[in-house]
Amino acid sequence: MPVFPGRRRLRASTLLTVLVLPGVLTGCGGSPGPATLTVLATSSLTEVFGEMGTAYHQEHPGVKLRFVFGDSPEMVDRLSDHTPGDVLVTADRASMDDAAEYLTGRRSIVTHDSLTIAVGPGNPRRIRSLYDLTRPGLRVAVGAGTVPVGRYTRQVFAKAGLSVRWNSEEIGARAVLDRIRSGEADAGIVYITDLRSAGVAASSVPIPADLNVTAAFPAATVRDSEHEAEADAFVSWLLAPAAQKLFHKYGFPSPAPPS
């Protein structure tokens, strides 16, 4: 598996998901439609944002939501290419820093996460801890060093004092998880919430709190948004009790840490 040295190399391998919520993107015939917000978000938020979109529309019927999901660097690249967007949500602060010139207003950490070791169903290789990832012959998948989950993974390995020889570097946590689900890797480091999305297709080996990291998910309004007020309101709503309750439902710790 090739190593991806930068965002542009990652981009060619990224599969974007666009989520259009039933009933949310329907305007009223003949009358001005509601504002349409395009939310560019990390793939790790796919499931929770699906439900949040419905909840937000119920509270704000004058706003339509369109979610575009992919790895965080790809979302930043879309802004650098002047692809329209109103809100950016990434999986770490570094990705948000890369997009700073395209953003306006205050960044808000809307939720956070931690890492876990993903293994095959039933843990056939009997992996018990991070230290087992150094075992000869074990196929390990990690995120590339240019994507959030890859940066977090390297922090965990450094805290544990480990030198892990991985077999593949992937474009994001979901891609690492796909390696486990397909049987192409024996173990990989992913977000706890991504592991939950795999259901019975993967098992988990916990990483102790003293060796783990806190993954921060910041959100901000895009500078060129045609609906800046509505975008600011959506970012603020992500910190509201209704949104935090949904984050918690999908396994994200609640409440969100301070920005």
Q: What CATH number should be reported for the domain whose range is 115-206?
A: 3.40.190.10
If one compares 35 and 166, the residue with the highest pLDDT of the two is 166
Q: Specify whether the CB–CB gap between 63 and 11 falls below 8 A.
A: no
Structure confidence at residue 12 (pLDDT):
38
Question: CA nearest 174: which of 20, 7, 15?
Answer: 15
Structure confidence at residue 84 (pLDDT):
87
pLDDT in tens, 78-124: 998 888 899 999 999 999 999 999 998 789 999 999 999 999 999 99
- Mean of the per-residue pLDDT values for the chain? 88
Amino acid at 227: H
Domains in the chain: boundaries: 7-111+217-249, 115-206
Domains 7-111+217-249 and 115-206 agree in fold: yes
C-alpha to C-alpha distances, 142 to 46, 110, 168, 173, nearest whole angstrom: 20, 25, 6, 8
Q: What CATH number should be reported for the domain whose range is 7-111+217-249?
A: 3.40.190.10
Structure confidence at residue 101 (pLDDT):
95
Instruction: Please tell me whether the peptide bond between 241 and the residue prior to it is cis, using omega within 30 degrees of 0.
Output: no
Least confidently predicted of 32-36, 145-149, 168-172? 32-36
pLDDT in tens, 190-218: 999 999 888 899 999 999 999 999 999 99
Q: Specify whether the CB–CB gap between 192 and 114 falls below 8 A.
A: yes
Q: Specify whether the CB–CB gap between 87 and 93 falls below 8 A.
A: no
The three-point CA angle 193-216-235 to 5° equals 95
Name residue, tokens 């992937």. 170
Least confidently predicted of 2-16, 65-79, 223-237? 2-16
Q: Say how far apart CA 163 and CA 258 lie, in whole Å.
A: 33
Q: Say how far apart CA 181 and CA 119 lie, in whole Å.
A: 8
pTM: 0.86
Structure confidence at residue 199 (pLDDT):
87
pLDDT in tens, 21-42: 544 443 334 345 678 999 999 9
Amino acid at 66: R
pLDDT at 15 over 80: no
Q: Is 217 in a helix, a strand, or coil?
A: strand
Question: CA nearest 245: which of 255, 236, 237?
Answer: 255
